[in-house]
Chain A
Amino acid sequence: MNEIHPPIIVAISLPMHELAKSFAARQLTPAKGRQVYLNTLAIYAVHTYLQWLNIDTDLDQSDSWQANTQVLFNATDLILPGIGRLECCAVLADATSVALTWDVHSDTVGYVAVQVDQQPDQAALLGFLPIDPVITTSSETPLTELRSLDDLILYLDWIESGKLNRVRQWLENTVELGWREPATRSVRSRATTGQLISRMKQVELEGQAIDLQIQVMTTKTQDLNVTVRLSVPQEDADACLPDGLQLLILDDAGATQRQKQANAASRWLEQKKVCKANERFGVAIRLGEATITENFIT
């Protein structure tokens, strides 16, 4: 349990218990009924808390609020428009861990643990965990590993402001806002063993348009081979990159891991990196005083 920050309490009214019971009544077994009942309280608690903080939710469109969908699936999602989904995990009072399922939507960004049975008229928001994109099985995570609700706010803001690109999602053929699939040109690669996907966007520094392309290739492990490439836009194919343009790879704290610099004859700059699962890194493109940074999680 997070000892520094006590939980935030959301009150649970009788109508919410009645709704939870109505959902539970439609389930095939009593065990699934209890699961749905407690999930409903947890989802409502997270929804209410986010309303307090003026963070939009779309409960009506969430699978967890669809009576028919719940009948088959263990739906615990809460949609946050423009951000993704939070899985709301009910935790019992005597529990020391929270069960995290791998069976989540591709836009799920994290889990919030909610204690629901300490007192029937309240739920306690304990903390959150960001999504682990390579979670391979439904796992029990100790409550001591939960991160604070302050971290949740920072994390949601990071995603909402577009500062975090979720690379592993690209492998499921999603194209995040601001990115596109390259038309013809691609980063050269000799290795062809894994799944290969590329995304690109055009950035502008000091009035110069530059193509940023990210290529991701799966490996036999959970590692991803990531190639970052800067080039001139295709319509200026004969041109060179601006002299002095820098391509920097940053670690999760923003420190430079490695860098390359273009000269007057450079047509492209490239950096390769092997990323572990759930690794965060940044790509900074610098020209003179101008810098553009993109952050990624694999």
Chain B
Amino acid sequence: MNDLDDEQLRALIEAVRQAKSAEKRRMALNALLRKLQKLPGILKSSHQDYPEALNLTWEWVCRNIDKFYADDKNVAENLKHWLNGYLYWRIHDLYSPDEKYIKLGSEKIKVGFIPIDPPHSRENDGGSDTMVDRLAKPEDQMGNSFLSLIDRQIQEAQTEERRNLAQKIATYIKQDPDQRLQRCHPKGKPRCNAQFLAMRLCLQDPPATQTSLSEELQIPHQTLVSHWKYACRKLLNKIIQELSDEP
């Protein structure tokens, strides 16, 4: 960092402090974040939850930048120390026995409605093959890219049991046992029914376009959109709920 960087950082911090409205402050924070994210010397950790510690740090910076004090020179250096002072303790939390930090992260993202596979821990797998370890490299030893690794993990995870609801919904749509879907159509347009639209928009890959459906069904696009959004989706959500409640 040189004098120019110090000057830029001082101006960016001052812009946040002087902002007279919430949106001006947010725009000033945008500019500051872009600069800070390139600041050399930010603490790193190989812990799998380090990204959460870093995100918490950016949030803390946004909320507390008004309290930051720097002498006239060395703004970048002072800022780095100030930021790392907070990040150090967030990383420290990651290694604390009571896993306080990890619980904090879990509370921020509530996922209680779906069972999550327990995170791999370095202790369990010898510290050499966690998901992040593997994903962190653009290509693994097998020459696989990040996307193909994801694809492979998804395929392994997509067991029959986990895909049960998706399968039940697809079967229901195809069979429409009570004709509930077929009966859901705009007046005088029986072909534009919820079964037909769900097949084309949700089960077909790639999904049909609105234009092609409008032409095929000879129905104005506004009618099609309104019917899909306000009648079909509502009915389909109800059916999803019913099927998911089944034992």
Contacts and interface: CB of A to CB of B under 8 A. Distances in A.
Interface of A: 5-6, 8-19, 21-34, 37-38, 44, 48, 51-55, 59-60, 66-69, 71-74, 92, 102-103, 105-106, 117, 119-122, 136-138, 149-150, 153-154, 156-157, 171-172, 195, 218
B135 A153 contact: no
Contacts of B151: 30, 33-34
Contacts of A30: 151, 154-155, 158
Interface string B36-50: 010000000000111
Nearest to A122: B51
A6 B49 CA distance: 25
Given A33-B155, A71-B240, 8 more contacts: A11-B51, A14-B119, A44-B109, A53-B26, A72-B202, A138-B207, A157-B23, A218-B222
Contact of B154 (A33, A53, A120): A33
A9 B63 CA distance: 18
Interface residues of B, number: 81
B48 A67 contact: no
B63 to A, nearest CB: 7
A87 B56 CA distance: 24
Given A54-B63, A55-B26, A103 B228 contact: yes
Contacts of B55: 10-11, 13, 48, 52
A154 B22 CA distance: 10
Contacts of B23: 153-154, 156-157
B111 to A, nearest CB: 6
Interface of B: 21-23, 26-27, 29-30, 33-34, 37, 48-52, 54-55, 58-59, 62-63, 102, 105-106, 109-111, 113-117, 119-120, 130-132, 135-136, 138, 146-147, 150-151, 153-155, 157-159, 162-163, 165-167, 169-170, 198, 201-203, 205, 207, 209-212, 214, 221-222, 225-226, 228-230, 233, 236-237, 240-241, 244
A28 B240 contact: no
B210 A136 contact: yes
Contacts of A21: 117, 153-154, 157
A148 to B, nearest CB: 8
Given A18-B117, A22-B115, A34-B150, A106 B30 contact: no
A121 B51 CA distance: 7
Nearest to A106: B229
Contacts of B21: 157
A55 B25 CA distance: 12
B110 A68 contact: no
A73 to B, nearest CB: 7
B201 A59 contact: no
A25 B158 contact: yes
Contacts of A14: 48-49, 51, 119-120, 130-132
A267 to B, nearest CB: 35
5 contacts: A15-B49, A24-B158, A28-B167, A154-B23, A154-B27
B34 A5 contact: yes
B211 A136 contact: yes
A74 B233 CA distance: 12
A128 to B, nearest CB: 12
Nearest to B105: A15
A177 to B, nearest CB: 19
Contact of A73 (B59, B119, B202): B202
Given A6-B34, A153-B27, A72 B240 contact: yes
A40 to B, nearest CB: 10
A69 B237 contact: yes
A52 B37 CA distance: 14
B61 to A, nearest CB: 8
